[in-house]
Chain A
């Protein structure tokens, strides 16, 4: 990464009016061979991530692992403390009275899975990220309101300031803006 000279701009971003326009543009850009791009919308648009060949998310796997760690860890903690570390006879019950350990195991499974889901989602999204070049675009604050944006990044192999601008103009956007670093 460092060997390459840094491109003068972050990329070019086109603004669209509706979700259909954005979806169509994303599909066309992908068909045209652009890969390093991202679409921005004020609410989730069905099929948008898929149009960029993004299908598999690792969030479910992370959640599953979190749940397994929480559940197994919880049960192990109870079993270990009740039978090995601090065995104590309560009303003549066996030391490993596993049915009594289930509620805590269940709660910790949910806790582990939920925390993993949230932190996993944030980490995979590289959030928190207080600064992003797109925030330099004045119009971009509409992305959280009613406008839809497609950004083709300068890192893309096919990116060319002139040709890409012409391509984006051809998608009939509201406007095309340069994104400074």
Chain B
């Protein structure tokens, strides 16, 4: 929000909620955030949620073990639908993984200070979502133990990856994304790890954070280089985010299957990724802020802004659906036309209509400020959008494949128990990692919150005339 508008709105009665509740100082933000990990008792909620998530993670391990033993035949995939849940889950998870870096990098570059309190756990979310995503194409390989064949490594047969294949691009895009997301997250954590080290009282805990903090001591020259490196990472991560989901969409568009072979895919996939990613951030932020009592840091302002982003990206996704239908009609290709018809009225029609209801209709609530500030509505819509975006990928992957050119080659796809076990198991893995993260690391950036508190103090001290930057 520009300074101009801020001042204008401050005259009105409905002043925007601040990004941090007033009354916090450098030490009280440090104390409050680090206490969640260091001194406060682990809430019972955490144990219940962690154990539940871990049980699902165990289910995933069983599913993977059985897959390795038996092969991909345990899934519902067949010919023509050779890409089933594994690819749906892959695209879904990697999409969710986009919001973290986007919040951290893009909003940092745009100087959106409201990002500060949600960036850390959004980044962690990205990391864990990418971990879940990266697993699926490998499991789908048929012989997952030779996954390293995808990488250029010196092998005795002098073989190289097929550089013209989008699947190889995908390997590079996803592994680069995982690496850069990790670096971004870790660099952001270093000063906080230093704070944790200095706050910790137990010897082992001190050593743990001390080891990870690498001897960070907040020297001015260090900060100088640190800030530059962090900004550069943000600048690098922003185009990377866009490229990753574009490359994921190439997995489809480079093929000639109707419903895949479309030029709208890269932007439409990126918008969808942001959409689902923000929905996931919201689904996580709403319970966390309540349980850990950090409503002062993750304020209504954050939820309100995220709801607006959901609305905008939801409209973009809706435009994507509309344009797919229009292009199918306008192309004059009978296969494209049939694909659209089959999608809307074929055997999988309920999927299409659910997608429309979840992704296009449900965010429309957010035109209204009352809805954007209603926690149950926000939470419900965010969950609905997560489901809708999963179904959208199901629609793209399965519904396009099951009836392509020749009716003699048509078929149906039904998920098996193992498909579902792998999907829910991956959710278990994601939540397990997420809960461990919340327990062990500061989920809100302490350093950046201090900066924010400092700026607030400075602003308050200055006269209104001096506020112009």
Segment among B66-74, B137-145, B221-229, B271-279 that sits at the interface with chain A: B221-229
Question: Is the pair B236, A93 in contact by a Cβ cutoff of 8 Å?
Answer: no
Number of A-B contacts (CB under 8 A): 192
* A-B CB contact pairs (8 Å), 11 listed: A48-B223, A49-B221, A103-B173, A103-B247, A110-B239, A111-B179, A121-B225, A122-B214, A125-B222, A144-B197, A145-B195
Q: Does B312 contact A (CB under 8 A)?
A: no
Question: In the complex the two chains form, is B221's CB within 8 Å of A125's CB?
Answer: yes
Interface bin, chain A: 35 or more
Measured CB to CB, the closest approach of chain A to B247, in angstroms, equals: 6
A114 touches B236 (CB 8 A): yes
Q: Does B160 lie at the interface of the complex (its beta carbon under 8 Å from any beta carbon of A)?
A: yes
Which B residues from 25 to 61 make CB contacts under 8 A with A? Answer: 25-27, 30
Distance in Å from the Cβ of A105 to the closest Cβ of chain B?
A: 9
B30, A134: Cβ atoms under 8 Å?
Answer: no
Q: Is the CB of A85 within 8 A of B223?
A: no
| A180 at interface by CB-CB < 8 Å | no
Partner of A113, one of B194, B228, B232: B232
Question: Would you call B243 and A125 a contact (CB within 8 A)?
Answer: no
Given contacts A44-B223, A125-B221, A129-B214, contact A118 B187 (CB under 8 A): yes
Alpha-carbon gap, A57 to B184, bound state (A): 19
The residues in A between 94 and 145 inclusive whose CB is less than 8 angstroms from any CB of B are 97, 100-101, 103-104, 106-108, 110-111, 113-115, 117-118, 120-122, 124-125, 127-132, 134-135, 140-145
Question: Do A44 and B180 form a contact, CB below 8 Å, given A100-B163, A104-B168, A114-B233?
Answer: no
Q: What string of 1s and 0s marks CB contacts (under 8 Å) between A11-55 and chain B? A: 000000001000000100000000000111111110011011010
Report the count of interface residues on B (CB-CB < 8 A): 61
Decide if B158 is an interface residue (CB 8 Å cutoff).
yes
When each residue 154-195 of chain B gets 1 if its CB lies under 8 Å from chain A and 0 otherwise, what string results? 000011101110101100110010011001101100010011
In Å, the complex CA distance between A141 and B209 comes to: 13
Contact A145:B173 (CB < 8 A) given known A38-B221, A128-B214: no
Interface of A is mostly: helix
* CB of A63 within 8 Å of the partner chain: yes
Cβ of B350 < 8 Å from any Cβ of A? no
Query: Is B250 an interface residue when CB atoms closer than 8 A count as contact?
Result: yes
C-alpha spacing A59/B213, complex, angstroms: 20
* Residue from A54, A86, A140, A143 within 8 A of B160 (CB atoms): A86
From residue B181, how far is it (CB to closest CB) to chain A in Å? 10
A169 at the B interface (CB under 8 A): no
| Neighbouring B residues of A54 by C-beta, 8 Å | 220-221, 224
Contact status B176-A38, CB under 8 Å? no
For B152, B176, B198, B210, which residue has the most chain A Cβ atoms within 10 angstroms?
A: B176
Q: Which residues of B contact A146 (CB under 8 A)?
A: 25-27, 30, 450
CA distance A43 to B457 in the complex (A): 15
Kindly state whether residue B262 has any CB partner on chain A within 8 Å.
Answer: no
Interface: B354 (CB within 8 A): no
Let me know if B223 and A45 touch, CB within 8 A.
Answer: yes
